[in-house]
Amino acid sequence: MIEKLLYVILAAVGLYELVDLAVLRRMKKRLVHRARLLNLLMLLVILTGFAFAIEAMTLYLFLQIVLLNIVEMCVLVLATTGIVLIFKTSVTTNFAQGTIATVGAFTAAKLIIYLTANSAMPMSTKLILALVSSAVVCFLIGLFIDTVIFRHSRYSNPVGKQMITMGIVLVLFGLMPVLFGLLPLTVEAFSYEGQIINLPNMFPLFLPNHNLYALCITVAMLVTLFAALRFTKWGLGVRATASNETVASMMGVNTKLITALSWGIAGAFGGVAAFLFAPVGNAVTVSFMTPVQVNAFLASILGGFSSFGGPLVGAVLINLFSSIASAINSVWTNVIVYVLVLLLVLAKPLGLFGKKTAKKV
């Protein structure tokens, strides 16, 4: 399958160069047409790669793996959304996103233990309260970072903020064992049962209920966020701040409130992601969200930081790449995924949906 995909990539590169030499050089808007051709060829290569994978794995196995990995996809989408939201409003990358989310997961696990020992609540109620507590704690940590740490820092610029978030990672790594103990904690799944999906001419597919709940929660959060970005004053302020923070401030937008809420909401998204991720064979430790953080940055780079939707597509693609690679060769899963991402980024350095911004002087 890999050999076939390499041949397809080489054929796409050759076709691109041939069309560029024979046709596009004579056209006025050559760069625009080259970008469209490149997008089309990349789409064809990706779809062809998926077709080869389905042929090698069988459609049944591909669909079953996708259904079993829905939680990982949702977690990656939520983490990526938080990173992009912070980048759009603060023009910096939050290296502490995964660590903040881990604090939320620890809080949720401790709350479940406390409620189990001191109340007769049903487990579903405990899990809902734990989910809310994880989101609230991470929301407050995000607010604290922006309103207290950043605004009182001496060098408050994008690079300085990045260095501060790296320091926050070290501080939280040291605080979590003190606050929550050294032993790993566990979080129960919403349900350990599942649904049987019957499709024509195919064996029954199994969808765990926890995956279904995670999908519903993720979709609800994303719909709420994008609706707020589109139809509320806060969303207008976010878009204005993302375009130009200085001009937005001059036009009366409270950019400090916008950035503070963005950090808080990004933290809440991370807290929910960590809570959903914890039951899927992951004990809550200080570093259990690190792989998610790395892949979330990769998804943001792959999709392009210049849009809100592009990184989400990048997150879905990375999850699908991981699902296919793990079925083909579980030892080389990360290597295969990172090589594929590298090839796509080499073809489009600004990301699949990235746009070049022209500054007028």
Q: Compute the C-alpha angle 37/39/44, nearest 5°.
A: 95
Q: Is residue 27 part of a domain?
A: no
Residue 5 belongs to a domain: no
- The token pair that represents 4 in the structure block: 């076939």
Summarize pLDDT for 262-285 with one digit per residue, the tens.
999 999 999 999 999 988 867 888
Q: Total structural domains in the chain?
A: 1
- Higher pLDDT: 7 or 11? It is 11
* Count of residues making up the chain: 361
The predicted-structure confidence for 297-340, as pLDDT tens digits, reads as follows 999 888 888 778 888 988 998 988 888 887 777 777 888 888 88
Question: Closest by alpha carbon to 74, among 214, 257, 250?
Answer: 214
Query: Is residue 249 one of the residues assigned to a domain?
Result: yes
Q: Is the pLDDT of residue 358 over 80?
A: no
Residue 295 within a domain: yes
For residue 142, pLDDT over 90 is answered with: yes
Residue 115 lies in a domain: yes
105-123: average pLDDT? 89
For the CA atoms of 146, 149, 150, 151, the dihedral, rounded to the nearest 10 degrees, stands at 90
How much of the chain, in percent, has pLDDT values that exceed 70? 96
Q: In angstroms, rounded to a whole number, what is the distance separating the alpha carbons of residues 338 and 228?
A: 33
Q: Considering the chain, what is the average pLDDT of its residues?
A: 85
The range of the structural domain enclosing residue 142 comes to 58-347
pLDDT at 159: 81
- What phi, psi does 322 have (nearest 5°)? -65, -40
> Which is more confident, 27 or 115?
115
Confidence of residue 360 (pLDDT cuts 50, 70, 90): very low
Question: Does the structure show a pLDDT above 50 at 188?
Answer: yes
Closest CA to 168 of 233, 226, 92: 92
- Does residue 20 lie in a domain region? no
* pLDDT tens figures, 211-224: 999 999 999 999 99
In a domain, 65, yes or no: yes
Alpha-carbon span 83 to 92, nearest angstrom: 9
Give a three-class secondary structure readout of the chain. CHHHHHHHHHHHHHHHHHHHHHCHHHCCCHHHHHHHHHHHHHHHHHHHHHHHHHHHHCHHHHHHHHHHCHHHHHHHHHHHHHHHHHHHHHCCCCCCHHHHHHHHHHHHHHHHHHHHHHCCCCHHHHHHHHHHHHHHHHHHHHHHHHHHHHHHCCCCCHHHHHHHHHHHHHHHHHHHHHHHCCCCECCCCCCCCEEEECCCCCCCEEEEHHHHHHHHHHHHHHHHHHHHHHHCHHHHHHHHHHHCHHHHHHCCCCHHHHHHHHHHHHHHHHHHHHHHHCCCCCCECCCCCHHHHHHHHHHHHHHCCCCCHHHHHHHHHHHHHHHHHHHHCCCCHHHHHHHHHHHHHHHCCCCCCCCCCCCCC
Q: At 199, is the pLDDT very low, low, confident or very high (cuts 50, 70, 90)?
A: confident
Is residue 303 in some structural domain?
yes
Which of 262, 212, 207, 271 is CA-nearest to residue 238? 262
